[in-house]
């Protein structure tokens, strides 16, 4: 038992799972609170912000966090002292990109709201949320470093702090408005996102500062010969560190750019999907308010519940990437196969268990948690995808650890195109049920593609 707890994958997974579950529990009840505070249409408008934030994060940070994690894990095998360099290299690219996104979203918020999201009421929300982009970029790069060295405590703490500040901010503003007899708009929920991101980024920066401070002090006390701050030793160290960081740009970009292109294309397709669903529901016969309400129930109530157990598989996937990369770099193919087979087995068991639970209790959950029979119907239907979505999360990380980012990109694009086909051709005819069929079909195909790629890769190891 002691040996299991000391295993980095198991230990890290436990930390991330516990904090992930706590965070999701807070977020889950927060969704219920928002739904009751702003209604189904308000939730639908709020959910429309997803495409812009997802695209910004994809461009500025997502690929770099994953690349940093992988390069840090590999550098610990060769030179542990240089493990911080991938983070510095990643930040030097990610931060300027995020500031550019911040500026574009803020200055063109009215245009984006009217022409991209097709909902002018989102314009002030876009201006507020634009400030989360540079914060999330810094936060993501630092988290990539901690994941790479398998120190999951700090990312877990920042995740909890972000969630608590977000919820606390909205609750405080709602109590203040109630006391003064004023009404709140959904904009306050967006302000909560910014405040949460400020807190989590500040904690990340403080943590990385103290970590490097401790490393420097330990090196200072153990050093011999030249003093650390002598001109000769300092300039030599600076030149060596700078050269080490510059040399990382090629491998960093080689991994980050395909991942970034992957995320941008996927998020563009998801954005088309998100803004098209209300539009296609109107073609089915709904008015604008009803279409947004149905969209809000699906994406703001039912889906968060279905993805709730994904806290476990997400925690596993975050730790699997550096672990598979490290084992693969060492040539320890037995460890790669062992971790892969064990992960698949437990993800399938989790998915089947959750599928049964959501199918049997979906109606009850919709009525009692969200006061919505429609949410219950969505939960029961979406329960069928549980074995696939939980498995896909971990399989994607394993394939990334084996250097198959490009292949993952094409498989995800193909899966999304299937879903978009259902949005454009099934939703106008069958309503939201057509979209649910599309989700099931696309996730099934994606799982089969992942498993096929993993099988072919396993034969070569």
Kindly state the average pLDDT of the residues 292-298: 87
What mean pLDDT comes out for the span 24-43? 80
Band (133; pLDDT cuts 50, 70, 90): very high
Consecutive H or E run containing 115: none
Say what the pLDDT of residue 80 is.
57
Q: Mean pLDDT in the chain?
A: 81
Q: What is the pLDDT of residue 98?
A: 94
pLDDT tens per residue across span 104-129: 999 999 999 988 888 888 999 999 99
pTM: 0.71
- pLDDT tens digit sequence for 380-406: 999 988 888 888 878 887 887 777 877
What percent of the chain lies above the pLDDT cut of 70? 84
Distance between terminal CA atoms of the chain? 30
Lookup: tokens for 454? 């993993």
What local confidence, expressed as pLDDT, does residue 260 receive?
A: 85
Over residues 275-284, the mean pLDDT reads: 90
- Give the mean model confidence (pLDDT) for residues 316-321: 64
pLDDT-based confidence at residue 322 (cuts at 50, 70, 90): low
Q: What is the pLDDT of residue 123?
A: 92
Higher per-residue pLDDT: 261 or 280? 280
Q: Which residue has the higher pLDDT, 172 or 461?
A: 172
Contact in structure between 135 and 198 (CB atoms under 8 Å)? yes
Counting DSSP H helices and E strands in the chain, the numbers are: 21, 0
pLDDT at 266 over 60: yes
- Position 28 scores a pLDDT of 75
Return all residues near 10 (Cβ < 8 A) that are at least 6 apart: 4
pLDDT at 203: 93
DSSP 33: H
pLDDT class of 345 with cuts at 50, 70, 90: confident
pLDDT at 232: 40
pLDDT digit string, tens, across residues 134-172: 999 999 999 989 888 877 788 888 888 998 999 998 889
Q: What percent of the chain has pLDDT over 90?
A: 25
Lowest mean pLDDT across 1-5, 56-60, 72-76, 135-139? 1-5
Of residues 345 and 168, which shows the higher confidence score?
Answer: 168
Sequence-ordered list of residues with C-beta below 8 angstroms from that of 28, at least 6 positions apart, any chain: 304, 305, 308
Give domain limits for the chain. Answer: 2-218+233-460
pLDDT one-digit tens code per residue, 402-454: 778 778 888 988 999 999 999 999 999 999 999 999 999 999 999 999 989 88
Question: Residue 361 pLDDT > 70, yes or no?
Answer: yes
- Structural tokens at position 203: 């904690």
Q: Which residues have CB under 8 Å from 325's CB, separation 6+?
A: 70, 73, 74, 401
Angle (CA) 134-139-145 rounded to 5° is 135
Q: Is the pLDDT of residue 329 over 80?
A: no
> What pLDDT score was predicted for residue 244?
65
DSSP string computed for 215-227 = HHHHHHHH--SS-
| pLDDT-wise least confident of 318-327, 336-345, 382-391 | 318-327
């Amino acid at each position: 038992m002691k040996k299991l707890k000391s295993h980095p994958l198991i230990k890290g997974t436990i930390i991330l799972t516990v904090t992930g579950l706590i965070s999701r529990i807070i977020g889950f009840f927060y969704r219920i609170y928002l739904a009751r505070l702003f209604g189904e249409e308000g939730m639908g408008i709020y959910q429309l912000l997803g495409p812009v934030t997802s695209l910004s994060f994809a461009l500025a940070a997502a690929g770099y966090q994953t690349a940093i994690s992988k390069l840090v894990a590999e550098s610990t095998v060769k030179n542990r002292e240089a493990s911080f360099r991938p983070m510095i290299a990643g930040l030097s690219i990610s931060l300027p990109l995020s500031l550019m996104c911040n500026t574009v979203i803020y200055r063109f918020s009215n245009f984006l709201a009217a022409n991209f999201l097709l909902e002018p009421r989102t314009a002030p929300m876009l201006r507020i949320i634009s400030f989360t982009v540079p914060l999330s970029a810094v936060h993501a790069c630092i988290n990539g470093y901690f994941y790479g060295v398998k120190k999951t405590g700090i990312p877990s703490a920042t995740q909890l702090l972000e969630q608590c500040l977000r919820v606390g901010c909205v609750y405080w503003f709602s109590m203040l408005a109630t006391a003064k007899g004023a009404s709140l708009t959904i904009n306050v929920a967006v302000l909560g996102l910014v405040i949460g991101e400020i807190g989590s980024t500040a904690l990340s920066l403080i943590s990385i500062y103290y970590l490097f401070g401790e490393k420097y002090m330990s090196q200072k006390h153990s050093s011999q010969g030249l003093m650390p701050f002598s001109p000769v030793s300092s300039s030599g160290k600076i030149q060596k560190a700078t050269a080490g960081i510059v040399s990382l740009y090629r491998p960093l970009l080689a991994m980050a750019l395909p991942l970034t292109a992957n995320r941008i294309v996927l998020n563009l397709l998801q954005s088309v999907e998100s803004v098209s669903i209300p539009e296609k529901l109107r073609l089915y016969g709904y008015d604008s308010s009803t279409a947004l309400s149905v969209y809000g129930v699906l994406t703001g109530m039912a889906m968060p519940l279905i993805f709730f157990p994904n806290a476990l598989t997400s925690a596993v996937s975050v730790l699997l990437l550096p672990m598979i990369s490290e084992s693969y770099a060492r040539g320890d193919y037995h460890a790669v196969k062992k971790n892969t087979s064990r992960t698949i087995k437990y993800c399938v068991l989790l998915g089947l268990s959750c599928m049964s639970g959501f199918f049997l209790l979906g109606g009850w959950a919709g009525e009692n948690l969200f006061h919505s029979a429609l949410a219950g119907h969505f939960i029961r239907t979406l329960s069928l995808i549980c074995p696939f979505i939980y498995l896909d999360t971990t399989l994607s990380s394993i394939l990334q650890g084996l250097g198959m980012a490009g292949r993952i990109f094409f498989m995800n694009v193909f899966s999304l195109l299937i879903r978009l086909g259902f949005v454009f051709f099934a939703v106008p005819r069958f309503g939201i049920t057509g979209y649910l069929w599309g989700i099931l079909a696309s996730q099934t195909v994606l799982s089969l593609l992942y498993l096929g790629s993993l099988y072919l890769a396993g034969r070569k190891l």
